[in-house]
Amino acid sequence: MTSTEALSPSVPTVAVGVGPLTPEEVVAVARHGAGVVLTDEALGAIDRAREVVDSLAGAATPAYGISTGFGALATRHILADQRAQLQRSLIRSHAAGSGPEVEREVVRALMLLRLSTLATGHTGVRRATAELLAALLSHGITPVVREYGSLGCSGDLAPLAHCALALMGEGEVRDAAGTLVPTAEALRAAGLEPVELAEKEGLALINGTDGMLGMLLLAIADLRRLLRTLDVAAAMSVEAQLATDRVFAAELQELRPHPGQALSAANLVALLADSGVVASHRGPDCNRVQDAYSLRCSPQVHGAARDTVEYAATVAARELESAIDNPVVLPEEGRVESNGNFHGAPVAYVLDFLAIVAADVASISERRTDRFLDVARSHGLPAFLAGDPGVDSGHMIAQYTQAAIVSELKRLANPASVDSIPSSAMQEDHVSMGWSAARKLRRAVDGLTRVVAIELLTAARGLDLRTPLQPSPATGAVVRLLRDAGVPGPGPDRFLAPEIETVVGLVSSGAVLRVVEEVIGELR
């Protein structure tokens, strides 16, 4: 979803309590516009933590984040009559992002995840502040957050500060229709009042890894869909290039028991079942001994990618169970303690790992596509799948587009998390760069979507050119989907970019998976 798209009003409300949200709930709020409500249990936990903060605020001894400055300025004791100004100054100064506007689904994800941490009762905000954050989500009011500003340590400070600024009635937001308006105007239209932040609330609103975690959860959801779609594309390529399905047999996968590999191979077997194309060259006269790696090793590569995504999901699940703030309130003990849980390293590492995955599965997809276009390797298909090779160029330049994207994905696979730039007068002398890792992963996921779409587009044309041999029921359903969506079959050259974009939409919406699963059941 882009930053200007309107939200759906028909998605159920998500309850935010003291326990962790599920990844599905995060996606529902972030991507599909679900509203939120704080549970009574969460409100009780918020109130108990606030009592601790109020007690420390009235004490003579300074307490960090409550009656002191912040970061390298933590040694200054702030008097009670200056503390409201302290909170305003913190948020205004930290709302220092720059660059393009961040996508609405990302901003909604980070708002929801910050709210979830507030609901644990370990941050010390007031009930009214948490309820206003929930109301912004439910009313579809989304603060404008900029691309640059987070180092992935001390939390996603600038992005979260832009959201906290909206709670103060300042800055700019997008309303539910996606229109850019001043925050004060949007709050009035929704019947909401801004809050004046009290002790500890400024830090509690900005000291979390919520942006990078939100982008990780969205990427995991996308990659799970894309990896199953990659199995569909690989099956169509195996089929149309007259390769064998015997290498995907379960007994061969059991010799190397990686779970993702077994799942991918099982998908390929199901996808190729009852294929007339595959059956046509199964006889004793077939002289194909072994297929190229990009065909034969699809389960090994796709499966390793699956296992990596699931590892990332375990890290995300731990983060969803976390209460990240500094200082953190321990209500049972009546105290507030500094800690380092805001450091984004655990999330940053897996974000970088997933960028590697996206680059590599895109690379094998591009190699399968390229084999269609070369008469030395395509087993009887016309050069570049062109209608009249020489007059027509067919899918020649579609593969160039794939190659350009894959090259970009390889650059994006370079890790952000190995970098660190000291900040805050050397108080914050090692940072994770997790936000940067998340931003490049989003670009990588988009690029992978386009690479998969071009393989599907090319493989569908290859299957058409194998007529009268018939594809499997599952892959044939994908070919029909493309044709019904306005993507014609083989013939003279035509404007190809709109066809690519159509298939990109079918991949990203899940339509390709749906038509397959209507035929053979759910892919794994």
Q: Which domains are assigned to the chain?
A: 14-208 (1.10.275.10), 216-520 (1.20.200.10)
Helix axes 210-240, 497-508, angle to 10 degrees: 120
d(CA 395, CA 372): 9
- State yes or no: pLDDT of 5 exceeds 60: no
Helices (H) and strands (E) in the chain, counts: 20, 9
Please report the pLDDT score of residue 425 as a whole number.
80
- State yes or no: pLDDT of 285 exceeds 80: no
Q: Is residue 173 within a helix (H) or strand (E), and if so which, with residue range? A: strand 172-174
In DSSP terms, 174 is beta-bridged to 142, 180
Q: Would you say 513 and 523 are in contact if contact means Cβ atoms under 8 Å apart?
A: yes
Report the first-to-last Cα separation within the chain, whole angstroms.
Answer: 26
Q: For residue 515, give every residue at least 6 positions away whose Cβ sits within 8 Å of its Cβ, in sequence order, or none.
A: 477, 478, 480, 481
- State yes or no: pLDDT of 332 exceeds 60: yes
- State yes or no: pLDDT of 87 exceeds 50: yes
Q: What is the mean pLDDT of residues 170-187?
A: 98
Please report the pLDDT score of residue 320 as a whole number.
97
Q: What is the mean pLDDT of residues 458-468?
A: 97
Count CB neighbours of 259 within 10 A: 13
Sheet holding 172-174, edge to edge: 142-143, 172-174, 180-182
In DSSP terms, 173 is beta-bridged to 143, 181
- State yes or no: pLDDT of 289 exceeds 90: no
Q: Which residue has the tokens 């209500």?
A: 331
Please report the pLDDT score of residue 86 as a whole number.
87
Model confidence at 367, pLDDT cuts 50, 70, 90, reads: very high
Please report the pLDDT score of residue 63 as a whole number.
79
- State yes or no: pLDDT of 74 exceeds 80: no
* Token code pair at residue 306: 């699956």
Please report the pLDDT score of residue 517 as a whole number.
98
Tens-digit pLDDT profile for residues 495-511? 999 999 999 999 999 99
Active site residues: 64
Tens-digit pLDDT profile for residues 25-47? 999 999 999 999 999 999 999 99
- State yes or no: pLDDT of 449 exceeds 80: yes
d(CA 405, CA 449): 10
- State yes or no: pLDDT of 480 exceeds 60: yes
- State yes or no: pLDDT of 251 exceeds 80: yes
Q: Would you say 392 and 386 are in contact if contact means Cβ atoms under 8 Å apart?
A: yes
Please report the pLDDT score of residue 439 as a whole number.
98
Q: What is the mean pLDDT of residues 125-152?
A: 97
- State yes or no: pLDDT of 2 exceeds 50: no
Model confidence at 249, pLDDT cuts 50, 70, 90, reads: very high
Q: What's the chain's average pLDDT? A: 93
Q: What is the mean pLDDT of residues 152-166?
A: 94
Q: Is the peptide bond before 299 cis (omega within 30 degrees of 0)?
A: no
2-6, 150-154, 357-361 — which one is most confidently predicted on average? Answer: 357-361
d(CA 336, CA 330): 6
Please report the pLDDT score of residue 4 as a whole number.
37
* Token code pair at residue 422: 């000291």
- State yes or no: pLDDT of 1 exceeds 50: no
Count CB neighbours of 486 within 10 A: 9
Q: What is the mean pLDDT of residues 460-484?
A: 98
Model confidence at 11, pLDDT cuts 50, 70, 90, reads: low
19-28, 69-78, 98-107, 420-429: lowest mean pLDDT where?
69-78
CB-side neighbour CA atoms (13 Å) of 310: 13
Q: What is the mean pLDDT of residues 12-24?
A: 95
Burial class (CB in 10 A: 0-12, 13-18, 19+), 399: buried
In Å, what is the CA distance from 437 to each residue of 51, 287, 413, 431, 440?
A: 38, 47, 9, 12, 5
Model confidence at 94, pLDDT cuts 50, 70, 90, reads: very high
Higher-scoring residue by pLDDT: 425, 398? 398
Query: Could you tell me the pTM of the whole model?
Result: 0.94
Task: Give the type of residue at 204.
Answer: A
- State yes or no: pLDDT of 10 exceeds 60: no
- Nearest to residue 459, comparing CAs of 507, 494, 498, 495? 507
